[in-house]
């Protein structure tokens, strides 16, 4: 269990968001997120949609069927979450 999960518990949307924060600056795809997080492809597909609607994640298309995703670091919400994630990890690491 990572530091984020210790505070907020584990749900699919939070797991995807935390993964994207940790790997910010990179582009990935649904299967890659599923593989790295241990979630099913369908779970990732389901929870990525609200993140797209909130403009927290950007989507690009490669060809007709391949969708890629990256964290939208231009989003004020995402910038706040990145700072919060970093600060939270520092506090929880001090606690041991």
Number of structural domains, the chain? 1
| Structural domain span for residue 90 | 3-95
Average pLDDT in the chain? 90
pLDDT of 7 strictly over 70 = no
State the pLDDT confidence band at 1, using cuts at 50, 70 and 90: low
CATH number assigned to the domain comprising residue 37: 1.10.10.10
For residues 9 and 3, the model is more confident at: 9
Q: Which residue has the tokens 């593989």?
A: 35
Give pLDDT tens digits for 43-69.
999 999 999 999 999 999 988 888 999
Tens digits of per-residue pLDDT, 69-90?
A: 999 999 999 999 999 988 988 8
């Amino acid at each position: 269990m990572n530091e984020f999960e210790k505070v907020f518990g584990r749900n699919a949307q939070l797991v995807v968001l935390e993964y994207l924060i940790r790997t910010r600056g990179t582009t990935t795809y649904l299967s890659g997120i599923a593989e790295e997080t241990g979630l099913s492809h369908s779970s990732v597909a389901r929870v990525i949609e609200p993140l797209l609607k909130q403009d927290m994640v950007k989507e690009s298309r490669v060809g007709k069927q391949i969708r890629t995703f990256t964290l939208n670091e231009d989003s004020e919400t995402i910038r706040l979450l990145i700072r919060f994630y970093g600060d939270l990890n520092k506090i929880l690491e001090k606690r041991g």
